[in-house]
Structure 1
Amino acid sequence: MSSLKIESIVLDYSRCGESPVWEEKSNSLLYVDIPSKKICRWDSLTKKVEEVSVDSPVSSVAIRQSGGYVATVGTRFCALNWEEKSLSDLFFVDKDKKNNRFNDGKVDPAGRYFAGTMAEETAPAVLERHQGSLYALFPNGTVEKYFDRVDISNGLDWSLDHKIFYYIDSLAYSVDAFDYDVQTGKIANRRSVYKMEKEEHIPDGMSIDTEGKLWVACYNGGRVIRIDPETGKRLQTVKLPTEKTTSCCFGGKDFSELYVTSARDGLHPDELSRQPEAGRIFKITGLGVKGIAPSAFAG
């Protein structure tokens, strides 16, 4: 086992960094800063960050097969032309809920873009309960609503055989699983596969590795944990130098590096002085496991 190394790679701070996605063809890490309304791309070769500013909180970004990206902005699924720095709307959701916004999103193995909503927070993780829903934008442009009464729609990923959909509603303090039909996108049989321990706090973003284990960022817990969804056991804990860890993805040339986003919003000045790297993006090497390439939206 090589030795574990944690370093911050992007020296700019995010108020709330989220949705890290590794793009192989550009050797870059995509991510968003939700309240700053920015979609960012960090080039691992030049170490430079490019940004696109948008008009509403932007909560997730994903690669698009036909070129460019897709993103969830406000309560809209959008297409992003990176060269022109322009957004075009694909679909609006939650039109009857003026106080809602999208949160985390990810593309399934068949190219559907799943993303869920939540009420706008009055403070981090403080919000009107049960206002969110889970949606998917299908490659043909239609949107399906899966369920509602969600608190904070968060991490999502699929098992390596594509038969299980993993999902986090943060305030349930649980990682859940559904049976998944990758042909149709249908889900069934919701159950909990991991209950958070008290010191792990709030489950946030999530990513699967090549052994089928899940890496979950623990908001307010200052760590990512590796869990076995089959046994419900935690296998590993990696602590980070800031407590508001928000999401994670594998990247690098062989997907052996774990990139972790974090937030500054909600930390008091004395807390910030104790964790000066809050809001940075961290790269963890030496984990001894690899991830898989992200799926791209097929529409």
Structure 2
Amino acid sequence: METSVNQYYKISMVSSNENPNQPALFLHGESPVWDAETQTLYFVDVHAQNIHKLNYITGKISTKHIGYGQVNVVSLISGSKRLLVSVRAALYLMDWEVAGDASLRLLASLDEGEPDNMINDGKADVEGRFWVGTKGPQIGDEVTPDHGTLYSVQQDTRAHVRAALRPVSVSNGIAFALNNSLVYYIDSSTQKIEAFDFDSQKGEISGRRTIIDVTSYGYDNAIPDGMTIDSKGHLWVALMFGGAVLHIDPDKREVVYGYKLPVSRTTSVCWGGPDMDELFVTTGRDSATAIAEPLAGALFTIRSTGSRGVPTPAFRFDNADSY
């Protein structure tokens, strides 16, 4: 890997509300998404069943608890104050201002007939479709292989979600090329970042091929997790169990740089901040490594990478506020 670039980058952590001198810690942070209009970062804590929002200006974190299952995904909805969230294997519209689970409006159920499956990750495309994938039954860190599916959901066919790819084991990071001709995709169990040709008008993918196999870079025990794209079309990928974020040039099919973090469970990434040049990194923790990794579960920011993000599309649902 190239090591002559980005040597002056800075890593910091978001502070706890209660103790500004200590980092805020979460069980399993995931799905960070930046709202440029409100200068807010949304993310979830999967196992605590919480959705969080970080006010960038004040540094304060607000929390909304969902009482009946894993919350793996949060996403923006175009022109709406509501959010799109996943609970277990269903998608809901959520109103932050309404108390409790009454804030949820069921949009679509996935993987019916597979009651132990979970939605795991999702992103909207340029047309406002939401691409969302599932994973099979999980015990600890082990997931039953080949039980998941990658779907696309759009407002006019939400009752009939469209299966785009199956089987998958742990459907994870999704990113769309800047010209919308490709979709980059991660099924974590493959340990690969892959690409498909993408017809954005029809919402169809084809021509699957490998961009990077992380085992080729010495990450034999790591799996690629969440992913985002920057203004140069480069990919940034969190390595679960690898304690790193990889900066990847997909055209050259090579890793540009690896950013090491002081925790092993690096889960997802997104660009944010006023200039879109801060990379937010969610992480998780577990009891086995709690003593060795006191910062596990923190929300990190990586600055001065020389890269910046681009505005990401939001889910299109025209009557979201009245649904």
**What's the TM-score, normalizing by structure 1?**
0.95
Shift of residue 13, structure 1, vs aligned partner: 1.6
Amino acid at match of 1:60: V
2 CA distance for matches of 1:184 and 1:39?
Answer: 32
1:150 has 2:168 as partner = yes
Structure 1 match to 2:50: 38
**Alpha-carbon offset, residue 274 of structure 1:** 2.2
- Aligned partner of 2:292 in structure 1 is 274
Q: Percent identity?
A: 34
Match of 1:99 among 111, 116, 119: 116
- The answer to whether 1:263 aligns with 2:284 is yes
- Taking the aligned partners of 1:66 and 1:211, their CA distance within structure 2 comes to 27
Give the residue type in structure 1 aligned to 2:208.
Answer: R
Kindly state the Cα deviation for residue 26 of structure 1 after the two structures are TM-superposed: 1.5
C-alpha distance in 1 between matches for 2:38 and 2:7? 27
Q: 1:74 aligns with which of 73, 85, 88?
A: 88
SS in 2 for 1:171: helix
Instruction: Give the Cα separation in 1 of the matches to 2:126 and 2:300.
Output: 26
Aligned to 1:202: 223
Residue 177 (structure 1) aligned to one of 192, 195, 204: 195
Deviates more, 1:217-226 or 1:9-18: 9-18
The 8 Å contact of residues 5 and 284 in structure 1, kept in 2 or not, is answered as yes
**Offset at residue 66 of structure 1 (A):** 3.2
Q: 2:264 aligns with which of 243, 246, 264?
A: 243
| Partner in structure 1 of residue 306 of structure 2 | 288
Q: Select which of 124, 129, 133 maps to 2:149.
A: 133
In the alignment, the residues of structure 2 paired with residue 206 and residue 250 of structure 1 have an alpha-carbon distance, to the nearest angstrom, of 10
Give the letter for the 2:84 counterpart: V
Which of the numbers 213, 226, 229 marks the counterpart of 2:234? Answer: 213
Q: Choose the corresponding residue for 2:60, options 48, 52, 67.
A: 48
Instruction: Return the letter of the residue paired with 2:214.
Output: M
User: Which residue of 9, 17, 26 corresponds with 2:14?
Assistant: 9
Q: CA contact under 8 A between 2:186 and 2:192: conserved in structure 1?
A: yes
Distance 1:78 1:227 in 2: 33
Residues 183-230 of structure 1, C-alpha deviations (whole Å, 9 max, x = no match): 121111111111113326110000000111100000011000011111
- CA drift of 1:50 comes to 1.2
| Residue 71 (structure 2) aligned to one of 58, 61, 65 | 58
Q: Whole-Å Cα distance in 1 between the matches of residues 166 and 7 of structure 2?
A: 44
Q: Which runs of 5+ in 2 are unaligned?
A: 1-5, 16-22, 318-323
How many aligned positions are there? 295
One-letter amino acid of the structure 2 residue matched with residue 113 of structure 1:
F
Partner letter of residue 117 of structure 1? T
Instruction: Identify the residue that residue 165 of structure 1 maps to in structure 2.
Output: 183
Counterpart code for 1:7: S
Partner in structure 2 of residue 229 of structure 1: 250
Higher Rg: 2
State the secondary structure of the residue aligned to 1:189: strand
Structure 1 contact 72–105 (Cα < 8 Å) conserved? no
Q: Which residue of 2 aligns with 1:191?
A: 209
Displacement after TM superposition at 1:45 (Å): 1.1
- Three-state SS of the structure 1 residue aligned to 2:86 is strand
The alignment partner of 1:199 has SS state of coil
Q: Which runs of 5+ in 1 are unaligned?
A: none
Deviation at 1:2, TM superposition (A): 8.3
Partner of 1:122: 139
2: distance between equivalents of 1:24 and 1:48? 17
CA deviation digits over 1:256-280, x for unaligned, max 9? Answer: 0000000013x41xx3222111001
Task: Letter of the 2:255 partner, please give it.
Answer: R
Backbone CA RMSD of aligned residues: 1.3
Q: Deviations over 1:90-111 (max 9, x none)?
A: 0111110011010011111111
CA distance in 2, matches of 1:141, 1:31: 27
Partners of 2:14 and 2:24 within 8 A in 1: no
Q: Partners in 2 of 1:161 and 1:65 — Cα distance?
A: 20
Q: Distance in 2 between matches of 1:31 and 1:152?
A: 19
Q: Which amino acid aligns with 2:259?
A: V
Are the equivalent residues in 2 in contact too, given 1:213–1:229 (CA < 8 A)? yes
